[in-house]
Amino acid sequence: MQKLVSHVIRNSADKWYGQWITADIAKVKAEPEFSLAQMFSGQLPAQEPVESRLRPPVIFYKEFNVPDKALRDATLTITAQGIYQATINGVAVTDAIFTPDYTAYTKFLQYQTYPVTELLKVGKNRLQIVVADGWFAGRVSVSGGSGQFGDQLAALADLDIEFADNTELQLGTDETFNVTTGKWRYADIDIGEKQDLSFSAEPTTEQAPAALAVFDYSRLVPQEGPQVRRQKVLPARKIWNEGAALIVDFGQVIAGRVRLTTTLALKQTIKLEHAEALNQQGKFFKNIVGRNKDQTDIFVGNGQKATLEPDFTFHGFRYVRITGLTKLDLADIQAVTLYSDFAPTGSLSTSNTSVNQLLQNIKWSQRGNMISIPTDCPQRERIGWTGDMQVFAPAATFYYDTDQFIQRWLRSVRADQQDNGEIVDYSPAPKDFFNSTDFTGSVSSAGWGDAIIMVPWTLYQRFGDQQVLKDNYNAMQRWFNFAQTSAAGDKTGSDRYIWDTKFHYGDWMFPSVMMKSGNPMETAQLTKDLVATAFLAHSADLLGEISAVLGDDSRIYRDYASKVKQSFAKHFITATHQLTSDFQGCYVLALAFDLVPAKLKTGLVQRLVEKIHTNNDLLDTGFLSVPYLLDVLVDNGQVELAKKVFLQEHCPSWLYEVKQGATTIWESWNGIQPDGTVGTLSFNHYAMGCVLDWFVRDVVGLTSTTPGYQTVTIAPQVAVVNEFDLTYQAVSGEFKIKQIKQTDGQHLTVTIPTGVVAKVQVPNAKGAVQTVGAGTYEFTY
């Protein structure tokens, strides 16, 4: 991994030698208007061919002379409007890709500083910066519009060379740079890329001097958090013919791209289309629909053997359909996975192979959805839906150290916060987001916007650093004020504490409705008022805790939370002790967020249990409630039922997906229906993978009780597997928890890091808790 060198914050023009450069050919064409309502109605507009809509990535380059004297140090500091690839003398300055990462570009744009001493030579050198549309100008909105953060690609760079004799050579981007295009005929992060290898490596076409441009410097900040890199490279498992096309199966749904070594004749053109599933008949099937979600790459040959891989795009896929190529060996093609470069922190395996597959699927969905920002899915929207991160955040800190990655995204979330305090549905928010509110009539939703409170709280719990609370506190309060004001509307009395005044996604996509009508908006309508009110109370409770941690007055939040809770009971609990929205997820949230008067609790638990039983012991929880389902059952004495629901293999359940051959977590529990019908939703959404967090806390039993795992409990209490083996590198040190089954019972071995105090409670110990410090201990039960 390459270290980035950082200097003073270069957030004004005078801190750069270089200036923003652009060119006429760096202007991105606007896609026609296309509303969300049109998109979700399944209509696709007639479109011009990709090639006439998309332009080639722009190459800025300059040749310069390095005198013959000893070099001390050289760095390249660089950013772009678009994504850039910089080379010196043909060698990439970094193995990071999709630089400068995805942020709320108009308010917060990162630059990077790379050490480049080794790339320079005495005499003639060439600095080249290729800029592609990327997230900045590409077709990244839900409905596939272009120019989302601007329509002018541009580069800004300083090459700083220090010699041993204390002299310097400073070279910045300016009008002495040339502009041209090369083998990349177009490259869109969502649509795909076309490379024509018959284009000369030395650009000769469309050459012109760069134009100086005036773009904002004040938004510039140095790189924060991990960059995206190529990670695991997966071999092809199987290749077969479908008509004239070749289908390749990599055996794993991933986000990334294909690397293919082949000899293409001069002008021979091959097309690679990507998909996550085969249809019921085992045929290649594009599971992603929508405008500009092509996921298609094209390569044109030059008569020579070459290794082909796109540079400025990625796809969500397991299968690739290749047309234009007749022969391919397994060894010629690989899938290159891409994700942000986190340090691994957790590993977990069990004696149950289906559970192990589920745990792996969660990990793969995390990888696929952490390319620069946390996303819903890596093939369709690919955007930072706040709700998805909120739901998955507790699980997201187990396998990888995602602290800085998530904090960088929170910075974009804060940058996109509206003047009235609204936290928008997804961040970075492209311009089309604000143009397409016709669909829901709103830019925010309870449970999504609450990410600004819930996600920093989770990071604080896991990593123990109050700074994340401080950084986000103001934004939390502003969101909370918005929520309060929005709920109150012009109402009076206790109605003011019921958030029924606007659109919310509610318990999004709960399965019984999805399996009947398939319409997620119906799940929103059926649950939104109750669910939004539940989150209003929960966020008030959390703000009460957060303000106390920060030494602020927590009374206003605590008082408000109790008012919401009273109103909740009055409005949403019927005389027969049921909820007005009589769905599993609503009971789960009411119980999880402690919204229920003590005397009514047992009745509501019973109703939840009854609902699960009448649903054949299957879950029926949507996005917002599923993280709490198993906790609520366990905490209310329904351990056996929790076990049953978790181990279910019928639809909808976690292991149903595994049984259907899933290698990632699906957006919809019935992505592949029991009769084999394959749907057109995403097969790579991490949200439902939130169950990993429950598994770690309740099955393995590891819970942090003081922020940052300074004190913990280890209390395995739900025996869904006989054996497990967990390692977790917390900020406080490494925990190991291993259970094996032997003839004399279960053996639990725990290793506690230095300075940590653990309370261990094994099953059958009749409540006895043993407090232990650092060391390794074995318990038998």
| Interface residue list for ligand BGC (CB under 6 A) | 376-377, 381, 385, 387-388, 505, 508, 685
- Residue whose CB is less far from ligand BGC, 173 or 292: 292
Q: Please say which residue, 671 or 716, places its beta carbon nearer to ligand BGC.
A: 671
Closest CB to ligand BGC among 473 and 628? 628
Report the residue number whose CB is nearest to ligand BGC.
376
Residue with tokens 């201990």: 777
Q: Are 430 and 106 in contact (CB under 8 A)?
A: no
Q: How many CB atoms lie within 10 A of CB 202?
A: 9
Nearer to ligand BGC, 276 or 341 (CB): 276
Tell me how far, at minimum, the Cβ of 99 lies from ligand BGC, in Å: 26
Q: What is the DSSP string of 284-303?
A: EE----STT---EEEEE--S
**Rounded-to-integer distance, Cα 480 and Cα 657, Å:** 37
CB 403 within 8 A of CB 393: no
What letter represents residue 170's amino acid?
Answer: Q
Question: CB 255 → ligand BGC: shortest distance, Å?
Answer: 14
**Which of 274, 528 has the CB closer to ligand BGC?**
528
Give whichever of 44 and 213 is closer to ligand BGC, judged by the CB atom. Answer: 44
Q: How far is the CB of 651 from ligand BGC (least distance, A)?
A: 19
Bridge partners, 128 (sequence order): 61, 87
User: Rounded CA gap, 671 and 280, in Å?
Assistant: 12
CA distances from 15 to 20, 77, 216, 653 (A): 13, 11, 13, 55
CA 222 to chain centre: 22
Nearer to ligand BGC, 222 or 449 (CB): 449
Distance of alpha carbon 55 from alpha carbon 22, whole angstroms: 14
Tokens 């407090």 sit on residue: 771
Question: Which class for 551: exposed (0-12), middle (13-18), buried (19 or more C-beta within 10 A)?
Answer: exposed
Nearer to ligand BGC, 146 or 379 (CB): 379
**Residue 508 CB, nearest approach to ligand BGC (Å):** 5
Can you tell me whether residue 649 is helix, strand or coil? Answer: coil
Least distance between ligand BGC and beta carbon 375 (Å): 9
State in angstroms the smallest separation of the CB of 388 from ligand BGC.
5
Q: What is the largest CA-CA distance in the chain?
A: 89
Minimum CB distance to ligand BGC, residue 309 (Å): 27
- State the nearest-atom distance from the C-beta of 326 to ligand BGC, in Å: 38
Q: Which is nearer to ligand BGC, 687 or 718 (CB)?
A: 687
Instruction: Look at residues 156, 210, 187, 217 and name the one whose alpha carbon lies nearest to residue 22.
Output: 210
Taking the C-alpha atoms of residue 149 and residue 435, their distance in angstroms, rounded to an integer, is: 13
Here the tokens at position 188 are 């869109």
Tokens of 68: 């013959």
* Closest CB to ligand BGC among residues 423, 608: 423
CB of 524 to ligand BGC, least distance (A): 8
Give CA–CA dist 684/726, Å, rounded: 25
Smallest separation, CB 44 to ligand BGC (Å): 17
When the beta carbons of 346 and 689 are compared against ligand BGC, the nearer one is 689
Q: How far is the CB of 381 from ligand BGC (least distance, A)?
A: 5
| Residues ≥6 apart with Cβ < 8 Å to 7 | 77, 113, 222
- d(CA 247, CA 11) in angstroms, rounded, equals 49
Residues facing residue 193 across a β-bridge:
187
